[in-house]
């Protein structure tokens, strides 16, 4: 085969595409174009199947690079790439029907779900085979989406477990909290695999059952801090259960009534401790945490106590986790702290209230821009922080809007250090008009 023949074949394919688009099948130009294509193909097929490869906007036949200035070659390369075709092979027996169908398929609007091979098969074309470009980004995005769905389902199951556990305590005064260990263990497993995904889960909030969400989120933050401290697994389970049940005293109140809710605010630690005191004797920690989680280091908070009262370390962890979740949960009026503002507030509070070493460690683990922060990047694109990296100033960001303000569908995950971008500023999430948790 001489060097002109592959070029002539693509030129013929390209002009057939044009002719089939412009003329009806009865028009002489239509059949001329098909004949021209079959002729060019027949010459190329003498030596066996003929393959065209596409790479970075160029067409190749074996080691021969086809010129982009021949008519239609550049647009053919673009069409094939848009359809994620890496190589296209024509086989012996290529006929007018297959030619028409190939052109029809290449004329379809490219999309993620459109597979050229599948479309050709559907049209009964057996003399054209294609191999698709393996899109690693798309594969990764698909896998991330699958895990995300799984995590969402897990969170919803945990809400269900927490709901029935709360109802059981409320109705029967039962202190069988065995189910809570299941919640802790399943979250702990995911936390070890992908802490960013779990921190993304903790941005979930609920208008109808805010306390259930708060319990689970507080547990997530407490576990993040516990893992950072190097607490062994058994201790983490106890910490998680304690965090999950820290507000259990609120079950005694109708939290929708403002007067009751205000009473609950001061009384729930005591009542929670009473409920949890009925747990088997070997596990007194949840009771202590329920009792102590509103006690400030400087003697502030409640219940009242002696000046030299020392709180359990887990109570100090849960106090920080509880505060961070309350700060970042939007209030009914839509206002709330953004994650970076909440971190600043925690650091201010720690001057008087919280354990300073623990707070610093917690802040270090969340990063300067915690998961859930909406940020504007140095190229003016806007996204949500979706993960931590070794560089706390350059997290992983799910870019939602590109530099021109265009919404990206699907959003694109970037590691700022890889793409040479910086965080310019944090942005009010309201301006994005999206629920952050739905995108993490
Ligand atoms: Fe509380
Ligand atoms: Fe709380």
Same domain, 156 and 287: yes
Range of the domain at 53: 4-134
Same domain, 63 and 165: no
Q: What is the pLDDT of residue 281?
A: 64
Find the mean pLDDT for residues 265-291.
Answer: 90
Q: What is the pLDDT of residue 392?
A: 84
User: Ligand 1: distance of its center to the CA of 293 in Å?
Assistant: 6
Q: What is the pLDDT of residue 282?
A: 67
Ligand nearest to the CA of 318: 2
User: Ligand 2: distance of its center to the CA of 347 in Å?
Assistant: 18
Which residues, at least 6 apart from 262, have a Cβ–Cβ distance to it below 8 Å? none
Find the mean pLDDT for residues 15-26.
Answer: 90
User: Ligand 2: distance of its center to the CA of 5 in Å?
Assistant: 75
Ligand nearest to the CA of 294: 1
* CATH number of the domain where residue 235 is located: 1.10.3210.10
Find the mean pLDDT for residues 200-210.
Answer: 88
User: Ligand 2: distance of its center to the CA of 268 in Å?
Assistant: 10
Same domain, 192 and 241: yes
Same domain, 280 and 173: yes
User: Ligand 2: distance of its center to the CA of 288 in Å?
Assistant: 14
16 compared with 431, residue with greater pLDDT:
16
Q: Which of 366, 391, 412 is the last residue of a domain?
A: 366
User: Ligand 2: distance of its center to the CA of 290 in Å?
Assistant: 9
Same domain, 151 and 121: no
pLDDT digits (tens, 9 = 90+) for 348-387: 999 889 999 999 999 999 988 999 999 999 999 999 999 9
Question: Is 280's pLDDT higher than 80?
Answer: no
User: Ligand 1: distance of its center to the CA of 215 in Å?
Assistant: 10
User: Ligand 2: distance of its center to the CA of 431 in Å?
Assistant: 28
Ligand nearest to the CA of 322: 2
- Please list the residues that pair with 425 across neighbouring strands: 376
128 compared with 413, residue with greater pLDDT:
128
Same domain, 48 and 174: no
Ligand nearest to the CA of 269: 1
Question: Is 133's pLDDT higher than 80?
Answer: no
Same domain, 147 and 274: yes
pLDDT band at 220 (very low <50, low <70, confident <90, very high): very high
User: Ligand 2: distance of its center to the CA of 428 in Å?
Assistant: 25
Q: Which of 82, 109, 134 is the last residue of a domain?
A: 134
Find the mean pLDDT for residues 216-225.
Answer: 97
User: Ligand 2: distance of its center to the CA of 397 in Å?
Assistant: 29
Same domain, 189 and 110: no
Q: Which of 134, 165, 200 is the last residue of a domain?
A: 134
Question: Is 136's pLDDT higher than 80?
Answer: no
Same domain, 207 and 89: no
Question: Is 255's pLDDT higher than 70?
Answer: yes
Same domain, 116 and 146: no
User: Ligand 2: distance of its center to the CA of 247 in Å?
Assistant: 5
Find the mean pLDDT for residues 188-213.
Answer: 90
Find the mean pLDDT for residues 397-419.
Answer: 88
> With pLDDT > 70 as the criterion, what percentage of the chain qualifies?
98
Q: What is the pLDDT of residue 295?
A: 97
Find the mean pLDDT for residues 12-30.
Answer: 91
Question: Is 151's pLDDT higher than 90?
Answer: yes
User: Mean pLDDT over all residues of the chain?
Assistant: 90
Same domain, 298 and 418: no
pLDDT digits (tens, 9 = 90+) for 30-60: 999 999 999 999 999 998 999 999 988 889 9
Same domain, 352 and 382: no
User: Ligand 2: distance of its center to the CA of 193 in Å?
Assistant: 26
- Looking at the 3D structure of the chain, how many domains does it have? 3
Neighbours of ion ligand 1 (CB under 5 A): 247
């Amino acid at each position: 085969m001489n060097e002109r023949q592959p070029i002539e074949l693509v030129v013929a394919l390209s002009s057939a595409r044009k002719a089939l688009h412009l003329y009806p099948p009865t028009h002489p130009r239509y059949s001329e174009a098909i004949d021209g294509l079959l002729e060019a193909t027949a010459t190329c097929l003498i030596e066996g199947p003929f393959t065209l490869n596409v790479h970075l906007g160029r067409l190749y036949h074996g080691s021969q690079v086809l010129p982009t200035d021949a008519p239609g070659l550049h647009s053919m390369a673009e069409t094939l790439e848009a359809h994620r075709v890496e190589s296209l092979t024509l086989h012996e027996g290529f006929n007018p029907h297959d030619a028409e169908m190939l052109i029809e398929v290449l004329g379809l609007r490219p999309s993620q779900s459109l597979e050229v091979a599948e479309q050709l098969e559907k049209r009964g074309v057996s003399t054209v085979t294609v191999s698709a470009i393996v899109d690693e980004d798309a594969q990764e995005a698909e896998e991330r989406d699958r895990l995300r769905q799984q995590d969402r389902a897990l969170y919803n199951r945990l809400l269900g477990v927490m709901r029935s556990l709360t109802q059981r305590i409320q109705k029967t005064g039962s202190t069988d909290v065995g189910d809570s260990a299941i919640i802790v263990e399943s979250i702990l497993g995911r936390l070890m695999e992908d802490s960013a995904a779990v921190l993304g889960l903790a941005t979930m909030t609920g208008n109808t059952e805010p306390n259930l969400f708060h319990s689970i989120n507080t547990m997530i933050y407490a576990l993040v801090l516990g893992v950072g401290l190097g607490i062994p697994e058994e201790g983490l389970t106890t910490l998680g259960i304690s965090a999950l049940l820290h507000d259990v005293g609120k079950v005694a109140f109708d939290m929708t009534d403002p007067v009751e809710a205000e009473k609950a605010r001061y009384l729930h630690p005591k009542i929670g401790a009473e409920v949890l005191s009925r747990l088997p004797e070997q596990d007194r920690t949840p009771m202590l945490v329920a009792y102590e989680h509103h006690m400030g280091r400087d003697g502030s908070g409640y219940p009242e106590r002696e000046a030299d009262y020392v709180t359990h370390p887990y109570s100090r962890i849960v106090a920080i986790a509880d505060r961070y979740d309350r700060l970042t949960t939007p209030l009914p009026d839509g206002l709330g702290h953004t994650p970076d503002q909440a971190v600043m507030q925690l650091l201010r509070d720690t001057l008087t209230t919280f354990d300073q070493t623990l707070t610093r460690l917690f802040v270090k683990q969340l990063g300067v821009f915690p998961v859930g922060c909406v940020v504007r990047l140095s190229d003016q694109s806007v996204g949500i922080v979706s993960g931590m990296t070794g560089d706390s100033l350059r997290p992983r960001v799910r870019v939602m809007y590109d530099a021109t303000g265009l919404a990206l569908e699907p959003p694109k995950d970037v590691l700022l250090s890889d793409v040479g971008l910086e965080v310019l500023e944090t942005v009010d999430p309201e301006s994005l008009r999206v629920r952050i948790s739905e995108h993490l």
